[in-house]
Amino acid sequence: METCETALAGPRVLSLPPALRPGDLVGVCTPSGPVVGLAAERFERGVRALEGFGWRVVVGPQAQVSGYSAGSARARAEEINVYLRDERVRAIFTTIGGYNANGVLPYLDYNALHSDPKIIIGYSDITAILLSVHAQTGITTFHGPTLMPEIAEYPQMLSYSTESLLSVVTGPGPRDPLRPPAIWTEEFLPWDEEDNRPRRLEAHSGWRWVGSTSGSGPLLGGNLETLCCLIGTPYLPSFEGAVLFWETCETSMAKLDRSLCQLDAAQVTSRLAGMVVGRSFRGGEAFENELRGHVTQRYADRGFPLVMNVDIGHADPMLTLPVGATAALDAPSRTFRLTTPGVRGGNSSRLPQAATEGRAE
């Protein structure tokens, strides 16, 4: 096996990257699945959307590579390393998820990032990078939208997603408790074929709280299946005293149960301060009910607050959560709050507002 070019840095004290400012340069990388051939028009719309936020954009070469992943693990890691070593680049956005982001972890230049912290954002398979970077450097990372599915939304990213993203990467984050959006959608329009109209929206049913306790700790988590791939590696941070957040792509309760059993066996869930569970991904209401029932049965008596049906990960719209920042959950008052920022400096920001894209149908 090839050895890592840059020695693992090891866990460090929490470090915050600088907030994004107008005119900053952001890099777009493809560290997991390929995007070439998927939807060229949608890709360009995503790049224009980033520019519309006031940032300058550079796109890495792996966006032009096809295969089961966007190139070899070394090539995908080097695309990121170029950004990590370039002091002009202040944030790294990812194009899409996939299955192989964990392959880049041994080759990332953690020391360069530690010397010059910058924002890294994504979700799904990108969970591997978010958790690894935080484990090895102590730098906050950001569980939030990727270019193709969310940022390139027609005619623009859903407003709840936009406000949440900007609130945590350009400033200290929302001062008030987080809250669910007024609307959501699971409609999929084939990219570059039918995604030329806004998707149909429906009323949001709210978040579901379990328990009568409160807890506070660092926010750690991401996609459940990807998180499980990191167990037993140096790329998974300690979850002791953490608020674990997770969401899943699975719509099989048997497979979901297997992953949760693995988390429990690895003692990831043994000493949590709280748990945030995301809405299922196109599982339908029957599966969503089954998921909530299973999670409640498994974790309701653990002594920590639990909130479910939360809009993270494979959900439209979605919250952006700073990995490593402190969050507080209070089940009696049904509040989920960020109590420390994910970036340093920047403008004060507002609470994500109820989306105004249109009425629920």
Active site residues: 124, 247, 314
The contacts of residue 286 (CB under 8 Å, 6+ apart) are: none
Secondary structure string (H, E, C) spanning the chain: CCCCCCCCCCCCCCECCECCCCCCEEEEECCCCCCCCCCHHHHHHHHHHHHHCCCEEEECHHHHCCCCCCCCHHHHHHHHHHHHCCCCEEEEEECCCCCCHHHHHHHCCHHHHHHCCCEEEECHHHHHHHHHHHHHHCECEEECCCHHHHHCCCCCCCHHHHHHHHHHHCCCCCCCCECCCCEEECCCCCCCCCCCCCCCCEECCCCEEECCCEEEEEEEEEEHHHHHHCCCCCCCCCCCCCEEEEECCCCCHHHHHHHHHHHHHCCCCCCCCEEEEECCCCCHHHHHHHHHHHHHHHHCCCCCCEEEEECCCCCECCCCEEECCEEEEECCCCEEEECCCCCECCCCCCCCCCCCCCCCC
Quote the tokens at residue 187: 């409609």
HSE-CB for 236 with a 13 A CA cutoff? 21
Whole-angstrom Cα distance, residue 85 to residue 116? 8
Best CA proximity match to 107, nearest among 141, 72, 131: 72
